[in-house]
A = this chain, B = another copy of it.
Amino acid sequence: MKKIALSLTAGLAVAVGGIVLFQAPPQQAVAAETGKSGLSFLKYTADGKIVRPEPSMYRKWVYVGTPLTPNDMNDGEASFPEFHAVYMDPVSFAAFEKTGEYPNGTVLIKELSAVGTKKASSGNGYFMGEFTGLEITVKDSVRYKDEPGNWAYYSFGHKYPLKAEAAANGVASCNACHDRNRSAKENLSKDWVFEQYYPVLSAARANLKK
């Protein structure tokens, strides 16, 4: 099932004068080079849920940034408590570095952790405590052909123990907000990613111009 999806997204069949040509869209360039897609990191169940990936995998992916929404700045209960460390799969990051686009097959993982303390030797602030949650977003033009931007969003929960599998969230609960961010002037991607809060991605985009 996954193999079929991969081969379908790897090229567009174009019939010219009776000869079928394959034209790879530009954002597929690196995936074609390596023969891999970010999708190769994920496992789906037969009914389309994502199996929670192991930390031993994604904690070695490319870290892109850490937004922080502390409970104490959000009436005691943030929507995403509290630190959000975000990783990007290395295959898609390599493509992004060359094109500035999120290729089909991009997987972003958000690992949530609690605020552990607000005071340390280095000063007052917010310091990470224990891991509390895990969420994933995936761009896949085949599996999510009906989702805006072909992005789908999954949550394994905000409290341990996390769910072993997760079904995609409805469009209104995640996609809509990411969709609205496309028109923010700070978001240079114009895609469904809150790129303006991820300096590793902003820096990679700035390097494209050189």
Q: Interface of A with B (CB < 8 Å)?
A: 55, 59-60, 62-63, 65-70, 73-74, 78-80, 82-85, 87, 90, 113, 116-117, 120-131, 177, 180-181, 194, 196-200, 202-203
Contact = CB atoms under 8 A, between A and B. Distances in A.
14 contacts: A55-B203, A66-B66, A67-B125, A68-B68, A68-B126, A69-B125, A73-B123, A74-B123, A78-B122, A80-B123, A116-B196, A121-B180, A121-B194, A130-B199
A67 to B, nearest CB: 5
Nearest to A70: B125
A59 B60 CA distance: 11
**Which secondary structure dominates chain A's binding surface?**
mixed
CB-CB nearest 10 A-B residue pairs = A63-B63, A69-B125, A69-B123, A66-B66, A73-B124, A127-B197, A74-B123, A68-B126, A68-B125, A65-B128
